[in-house]
Structure formats: C-alpha cells, structure tokens
Chain A
Amino acid sequence: MLLLAELLSWLAVPALPDALSQLGLAMLLSAFVVLLCVGLAGALKMIGCTVADYFSSSQRTRRRLLFAQARQDQVKRLFYFRTVQLKYFNALKRTRLLKANNRKHIHLLSNAINQQLMSLKPSLAAETFKELQQQNARCRRQQNVEALLQLQKQITTMADKS
C-alpha cells in the first residue's frame, strides 16, 4: 500500500497518495494489534491449560503418590539413624563404665605405690623421694598403666637393694 502511494506520488496524482498512506498505516497498526491480541490470547490459553493440568485429579493423585514414596524413604532413613544413635550411646555408656573401672584400679595401684614409697622414705634421698612421688601422681593423672607398673618395678628394685 505504501509502495502504491509512492507510485501515485511519482505519477503526481494529487490527494490520493495521502489517503492511501493513511490507509496503509491504519492497516499496519491494525495488523500489529491483531497479532498482539492473538499472541496474548495464546499465552493466556496456555497458562490456563497448565494451571488446570496442575490441579487436575490425575496430577494431584500422582503428587500424592510421590509424597507417600518420599515419606516411606524418610521413615526408612529415620529407622537407620535411630539404630546408629542407639549403638553410639550404648558404646558410650560401656566406655564410661570401663573408664570409671580403670580409674578406680589405677587409683588403688597408685595408692599402693605411694605406701611402698612411704615405707622406703627413710632410706631414700629427699629429692629422689619427691621425684618418685611426683612421677606417681603424674602417671595417675595421665592414667598411664604401663608407666605406673614400671614405677612400681623400679621402687621394688630399690627396696630390694636397700
């Protein structure tokens, strides 16, 4: 239409090119408006269909099934972790019992070493006595069984010599 207007303008036909230009512009704008409306209507229709499908009965049932499957997995996982937790606390209780028992007997051994040291006190130099006593206290504090037994052996050897 615009080309026709150009042609008429070239042919020097008065008034007609202007009218044709106006008509062409109006048609172009109308076409754009129609295109926009069709696009908008298509998009709205698509959104409507998607929403309807999302809330449809079959989709809801499908989602419910997936939710149930996820819950089943969660229940299984929960059971596993609770078992692990129980095992951990059981081991912890047992370790505490063992540690308390070890502490008690190490204390008894340390006391016996101390008594042996006290009986040897007159025959020992003050520094040696103090050092041995400190060693005994340190080993008891560190719960070092091997060192305590070694110390006891050392003191017995000293007692045998004197």
Chain B
Amino acid sequence: MTILKNWVLAVVNLFHSVKSENLQWQQDNQGSQTQLKHAQVMAEKTLEAALKKKSVQLEHDIALLKTRHDAELSMFKTKCKQDVKDYKQYLDSLDQLKRSIQTSYTHLPEAVAFTIHHHAKHLLNQMWEAEDFAAKMHYEMQLIKFMTTVHEDARLHLEGAVNENLPERTLGLIQHQ
C-alpha cells in the first residue's frame, strides 16, 4: 500500500514539476510570443489591406474596360453599317455601269451585259473579302480599271468613234483577267 502511495505521489510530483517548468518557459518567452503574435497579426492585416487595394484597383480597371469596350463596339457597329452601305453603293454603281453599256450598245445581248456585270461583281467581292491591305488595293485597282474601260467603251460608242457591235476592250479585259 505504501509503495502504491509513493508511486502515486511520484507521479503527482512529476506532473507538478512539468507544469511549473512549462509555466517558467512561458514566462521566459512571453515577450517573444507576444512579439510573434503581433507580427503575425500585422502581416495578416498588411496582406488584407494589399488584397483590398488590389480588389478596388481591379474594379476600377473593369469599369474602364467596360467603357472602352462599349466605345469600341459602338465604333465597330458604325463601321459595319458603313461597310454595308458602301457595298450597296458599289452594287448600285455596277448596276448603273450595266445600264450605261446597254444604253450605248443598244443591240448588246443581255448575256454579254450580264457577263460584264458579273465580272465586275466578282472583282468587287474579291476586293471586299481580301484580308491584307496590299491585296485589297490590287483588286480595287483592277475594279477601277475595269469600270473605266467599260465607261470608255460606252462613251466612244456613243460618240461614234468606234464601229464595233460589242465592247471589245472590255471583253478583252475579262478574258485577260
């Protein structure tokens, strides 16, 4: 019984000594612990402030981006509308070109007038669908040259400068191109 009592007392003593050592260690390192905790809190606060600042900056950027996109879209929409309008005007002027050649050459077969008009439309589409600027310019020059030739043929025939039944230079240009 005494042995058991001694053993229990030894265990209690050990427990107390461990507790007192722990208390002593905490007393010794209280300053460091407080400092560490403080540094940790400060770091968290700094990080939070930085994140908040970044978030506000991002919101501002988004607002700017939206405004810029709206302006760009509005410009692009206007450009598209103008593009369609220009294309329609080109088609109208090609119709006018056909009427002009038919007025000058009164006995011109509809198939020939159609071929001339069709070729002009083909050049117009090539010009419109060209991706790079150089190709676009090339097709535009071809179209202008073609239209000029047609008008020139019509004018010469009206003035009676040529006695051909067909606009030979225009047809030659179609074959050449």
Using a CB–CB distance below 8 Å, which chain A residues touch chain B?
A: 57-58, 61-62, 64-65, 68-69, 71-72, 75-76, 78-79, 82-83, 86-87, 89-90, 93-94, 97-98, 101-102, 105, 108-109, 111-113, 145, 149, 152-153, 156
Contacts and interface: CB of A to CB of B under 8 A. Distances in A.
Interface stretch (B29-37, B47-55, B132-140, B164-172): B47-55
B80 interface: yes
A86 B83 CA distance: 12
A93 to B, nearest CB: 5
A72 B62 contact: yes
B157 interface: no
Nearest to A93: B84
Contacts of B16: none
A85 B118 CA distance: 30
Given A101-B95, A112-B110, A112-B111, 12 more contacts: A58-B48, A68-B55, A86-B73, A86-B77, A86-B80, A90-B84, A97-B84, A97-B88, A105-B118, A113-B110, A145-B114, A152-B109
A76 B72 CA distance: 12
9 contacts: A71-B62, A79-B69, A86-B73, A86-B80, A97-B87, A98-B121, A101-B95, A111-B110, A152-B110
Contacts of B47: 58
B21 interface: no
Nearest to A150: B111
A156 B109 contact: yes
B55 A94 contact: no
Nearest to A104: B95
Interface string B120-142: 01000100100000000000000
Interface residues of B, number: 36
A72 B91 contact: no
Contact of B61 (A62, A72, A89, A108): A72
Contacts, number: 88
B115 interface: yes
Nearest to B50: A61
B11 interface: no
Contacts of A86: 73, 76-77, 80
A58 B111 CA distance: 79
**Which 3 interchain pairs have the tightest Cβ spacing?**
A112-B110, A90-B80, A68-B58
Interface string B78-110: 001001100110010001001000000000011
Contacts of A76: 65
Contact of A65 (B58, B62, B87, B98): B58
B110 A61 contact: no
Nearest to B63: A75
Contact of A105 (B55, B84, B117): B117
B87 A79 contact: no
Given A65-B51, A90-B80, A83 B73 contact: yes
Q: Which of A76, A82, A113 has the most CB of B within 10 A?
A: A82
